[in-house]
Amino acid sequence: PIFIDDSGALTVQQMRGKARRLKADSGLDLLIVDYLQLMQGRSDAESRQQEISDISRSLKALAKELDVPVVALSQLSRAVESRKPPIPMLADLRESGAIEQDADVVIFIYREDQYDQNSEKKGIADILVRKHRNGPTGEKQLFFHDKFARFESLENREVV
């Protein structure tokens, strides 16, 4: 089963409590945070950057404690939009270098057709593995079927 908790501005402590209960009651195989900057950090943090750093480290600790992967989505800084082409880099992770440091894997999705309406890569999504602690980094192109928000292999597919 999939459980969705759409409570706003959760703290890591609140998420930890909910995840522990869920794991004990129903099992827990994966935890997804959508998105990191919507979480509430410690009130005594000196800056938002410090809050995000604390949240990032706490999510890493939660993953280890519960022995489950945690997928944390993050916003990018606006700096990416000022580059040509605006392909995301690790430095673009918003509000904290700790996200890059704490993550085992960092993956970006880049769709050229979202920035260039004349792009010849309509429907193509570049999946960019920019950090992989225990494996290779690299890129893979997939077809993004926007009607269903689904990625598909490009093999045996004609892109229109």
Least confident window among 66-70, 106-110, 113-117: 113-117
Indicate if 12 and 56 belong to the same structural domain.
yes
19-50 pLDDT per residue, tens = 999 999 999 999 999 988 888 888 788 888 88
- Within this chain, do residues 129 and 56 fall inside the same structural domain, yes or no? no
Q: Looking at the structure, do residues 47 and 120 belong to the same domain, yes or no? A: no
Residue-number span of the structural domain to which 13 is assigned: 1-103
pLDDT tens readout for residues 44-75: 888 888 888 999 999 999 999 999 999 999 98
pLDDT of residue 158: 61
Q: What is the pTM of this model?
A: 0.86
Residues whose CB falls within 8 Å of the CB of residue 66, separated by 6 or more in sequence, listed in order: 19, 20, 23, 28, 31
Share of the chain above pLDDT 70, in %: 96
46 and 60 both lie in a single domain: yes
Same domain, 40 and 73: yes
Are 20 and 90 part of one and the same domain?
yes
Q: Which of 103, 121, 144 is the last residue of a domain?
A: 103
